[in-house]
Amino acid sequence: MNALLTVAALMLCVAVVLMAPAEGPVALLVCLGVAAIPSLLLLKAKEDGVFLFRLFASALMVRVLLGTLIFSFRLQDFFGGDALTYDFFGAAQLKAWGGDRYYSSLATIFVGAGEGSGWGMVYLVAAVYGLTGRPNMLAVQFINAVLGAATAVIIFFCASHVFNNSRVARLAAVAVAFYPSLVLWSSQGLKDGPIVFALSLSILATLKLGQKFSTKYVVILICCLFSLLSLRFYVFYMICVAIGGAFVIGMQRLTATTFIRQFLILITLGLTLTYFGIARYANMQFERYGSLQMVQYSRMDASTTAQSGFAKDVDVSTTQGALSTIPVGLLYLLFAPFPWQLVSLRQSITLPEMIVWWASFPMLILGLWFSIKYRLRQISPILIFTVMLSLAYSVFQGNVGTAYRQRAQLLVFYFIFVAVGYVLLLEKREEKRRRELAEREAAVTGLAASASPRR
């Protein structure tokens, strides 16, 4: 298996250089440098290290191949036009750091004072361009590919921590590694890959801290939170609520030790965020964006300016209107695009994976029911976050394409519950087979005993 992966990796490197001779070699060097960190950590892992390394390498190669195809055939507009926006403003930001006043004013238009969402991606692109010496979107895509592949590994650790079941953890990790839309969004120069990676790592750090205090995981959690703040600020607030709620509820049985640990973690997080000015930043954003009227403007813009808009006549500017929108919005968030909405090539290519997702939904419900019944404390950070973000998106999403894309932030956690449901069905089927086999063996033994001559 390792030899096969090595040959495939070498062939992929040759293909990247041939398809993108100008940007490919440098992008591959950046990719290998970034990928070396998780690879070394996985190779040192005692349990499941070999499986996770192979999974990471396979997921990375799939993303690198798709990213190279998108880059070579200039398909950014078709799959995700935001990549071109980050490329332009990232290059402008790099020149602004070099002292160019014109590009400084240009970059400020997008980045501003950090009030909006996505300025962190501009800084990331600019930093990568500074490292490569010139704009190289393929290098950004390959870094996102590493983050996307690493997300599958993180989900494995999250599922293993909560359920202590290798089947569940492996199945969830494989789903995240190779589910088409998760591969697509982490193969481009978009902020979706870093967001999903930071969310997954935040949840893992929270789960680890709920079990034992660790300075390492406190630092990881703080870094992830700041990353989310710079990439998509409202997700930052939701994950903060989920983390705070999980520590208040407690992910372990409440004792004096666990109470003190959770209290210290919350105080540390609160003081750190306050020290870096999050309170002032939050007040500024809530004043600008924190009203249902702003949500209505955003939703109307998404639903009326795009062909794939839905529920264009709803009004979420009032509490009653927002609540009444949730059922329809949640339906679209979870299941769109529907077969009758596949009117273009971009929408039609989603059908195979949507069939898989629709078929998986009963297992999601089963796994969620089991988890709530038997692992409620342990899954509390995942459950609180996914419920909050699902409800939020169901209110202000008015576009099928955007809902499909932002579903990725939830799918990585949904797949944990899908894996639980699938393993429950599998174990039930295996138990049934064992009973049937035991009954047949008992019947054969009984017949043999009755047929034997009596003395």
Q: What is the dihedral of CA 140, 142, 144, 145, to 10 degrees?
A: 170
Instruction: Say what the pLDDT of residue 415 is.
Output: 98
pLDDT at position 107 is 87
Q: What angle do CA 147, 28, 88 make, to 5 degrees?
A: 70
Q: What is the DSSP string of 13-35?
A: HHHHHHH-TTTHHHHHHHHHHHH
pLDDT tens readout for residues 307-346? 667 777 788 888 888 888 899 989 999 998 888 877 777 8
The predicted pLDDT at position 436 comes to 87
Q: Tally Cβ neighbours within 10 Å of residue 50.
A: 13
pLDDT of residue 236: 92
CB-based contact 144:189 (threshold 8 Å): yes
How far apart (Å, rounded) are the C-alpha atoms in residues 275 and 307?
45
For the chain, the domains span 2-74+136-422
Alpha helix ranges (H) inside 114-255 = 119-132, 137-163, 166-178, 180-185, 192-211, 215-231, 233-249
Q: Which residue has the tokens 């494995």?
A: 156
Q: What span, in angstroms and rounded, lies between the C-alpha atoms of 76 and 340? A: 26
Instruction: Please identify which residue in the block is written with the tokens 């996770």.
Output: 52
Helices (H), 276-406: 278-289, 292-304, 319-335, 345-348, 351-374, 376-396, 400-406
- Token digits of residue 21: 């001779």
Give the pair of three-digit tokens for residue 278: 């999050």
pLDDT score recorded for residue 348:
85
Q: How many angstroms separate the Cα of 329 from the Cα of each of 196, 332, 394, 400? A: 21, 5, 4, 10
181-211: b (≥16 Cβ within 10 Å) or e: bbbbbbbbbbbbbbbbbbbbbbbbbbbbbbe
Rg (CA), the chain: 24
Q: What is the DSSP letter of 190?
A: S
Closest alpha carbon to 356 in 186, 177, 175, 187: 175
SS3 309: strand
Can you give the pLDDT at residue 114?
A: 52
Integer angstrom CA distances of residue 191 from 217, 247, 267, 358, 362: 23, 28, 30, 26, 30
List, in order, residues 6 or more apart from 352 with CB less than 8 Å away.
Answer: 180
Q: Is 415 helix (H, G, I), strand (E, B) or coil?
A: helix
Tell me whether the omega of the peptide bond preceding residue 21 falls within 30 degrees of 0, making it cis: no
Give which of 152, 136, 155 is closest to 83, Cα–Cα.
Answer: 136
- CA–CA gap between residue 111 and residue 120 (Å, rounded): 8
Only one residue has tokens 């079941």, namely 165
Residue 338 DSSP SS3: coil
Which residues lie below 8 Å from residue 452, measured CB to CB, with a gap of 6+?
Answer: none
pLDDT in tens, the chain (455 residues): 788 999 999 999 999 999 999 999 999 999 999 999 999 999 887 778 999 999 999 999 999 999 999 999 999 999 988 999 999 999 999 999 999 999 998 888 887 655 556 789 999 999 999 999 999 999 999 999 999 999 999 999 999 999 999 999 999 999 999 999 999 999 999 999 999 999 999 999 999 999 888 999 999 999 999 999 999 888 999 999 999 999 888 777 777 778 788 888 889 888 888 877 777 777 777 777 777 788 888 787 777 766 667 777 788 888 888 888 899 989 999 998 888 877 777 888 888 999 999 999 999 999 999 999 999 999 999 999 999 999 999 888 878 888 898 899 999 999 999 999 999 999 999 999 999 898 888 888 877 777 666 54
Q: Decide: 413 and 386 in contact? Cβ < 8 Å.
A: yes
**β-bridge mates for residue 98, sequence order:** none
